[in-house]
Chains A and B, each alone.
Chain A
Amino acid sequence: MLEMPWVDFEKCTGCGTCVAACHCGAIVIVESKAIIIQTLKCGWCTVCEAVCPEGALLCEFEIVIEN
């Protein structure tokens, strides 16, 4: 399954800032919470994390060393 940014539903207020900022339409608000839909178009630009005023959205990086 394609990994997507993670939303902390306890912190998300459903303000929609991330929806407006995401250039690929990956985020929708359902029942006042941001839901991220599976889409290959999400290139992990991290804009949604940067704009979220609640720190509710996380774009986590797995850091690996190439052998």
Chain B
Amino acid sequence: MSQSPSDTLTTADGVPLKVSLRRAVRRSKFKALLLVSPLLAFLIIAFVMPILDMLWRSVDNPEVSTRLSRTVEALEGWDGESLPGEPVFAALVADLREGQEARDLGLLSSRLNYEKSGMRSAISRTARRLGNLEPPYREALIEINDSWGELSTWKLIERESSPYTLSYYLAAMDRQLSPEGEIVKVPDYLEIHVALFWRTFWMSAVITGLTLLLGYPIAYLLANLPLRHSNLLMILVLLPFWTSLLVRTTTWIAILQSQGVLNDMMVAIGVIADEARWQMIHNKTGTIVAMTHILLPFMILPLYSVMKTIPPSYMRAARSLGGKPILSFRRVYFPLTIPGIAAGGILVFILAIGYYITPALVGGQSGRFITNYIAYHMQTSLNWGLAAAIASILLLVVIVFYLVFNRLIGVDKVKLG
């Protein structure tokens, strides 16, 4: 219906209907906003801001541009073909002197060391001898450390003089910029992140598959048993939530370790020899077993909530129409549970790729996830930029999965609980 603006609907007192409707709902909207504001504030402070901070850190690159500001300025117009001239070296000395006084050369040397090994010792050694350094600085510095005589050092400083960098992302993907400015692989012995990303993804996929395999029949029982039995079963499913994650994980150590319950039993009944006990913990097996157990409820609950809405008459109808039990299940019941499978799958997968504590405790070397490396870079190597870049990549993967899921299944189809 097309209406010209002149005859828009008005209320009895002549106010346009839309305006008066907006007025009427404004109050209730304001009230609703007031009610959610504490949660909103909490979310912004505890969720949105840390994520923004993380994204910021993954590209933030202040060290060279602030600490070596004179050097960077002096390098302007440098041809990049030969070593820079004396003014640049003088500027470097001035910058380092200032840095030594301010005691913040550590950050700079770490930053440059990420990109070119040997830079940390070059800077610290130079800093130590700044006191009795005489011009010409060029020869003096090169004498202290060869790095200052290398073209690549100066190219690095020039390159990293920008306040933003993608080098953390390159490092997260086991890549770096060559002195010529090309993206190249890091040396083999430093390659670690890409393999860990893949391992995290495929192991998470295996864990998701296992939870589906184990959880589907349980969810079916939950949804179809008489209430008395299904309540008990539901309590059993939820029981793990009442114990701490740490307890559940360490229990698996007690069960799976070489001197653990399972191995002892196998030896006792003679399935395996005492010398040939299975190594089931501190490797991939340990991570997969423990995480499958821990994440199982997150698969069961969405499956259950979907199955609960499927009336038994569908299967009965299929059977009465001549479908054999398995065929009826495949053609009628299973397709109706796909939203539940998708919801449980995406939930478990996303939780799994972000899991940290369990792989750390039972994963050993080979069962570790990329998250354990985020922790490593946060706590041990103190390379927060790299930690932020890895975490940002994980976030991106999760978002991509979510979008694909929404495309294929539709988030609105999913009911949790």
- Are A and B interaction partners? no
Q: Which residues of B contact A (CB under 8 A)?
A: none
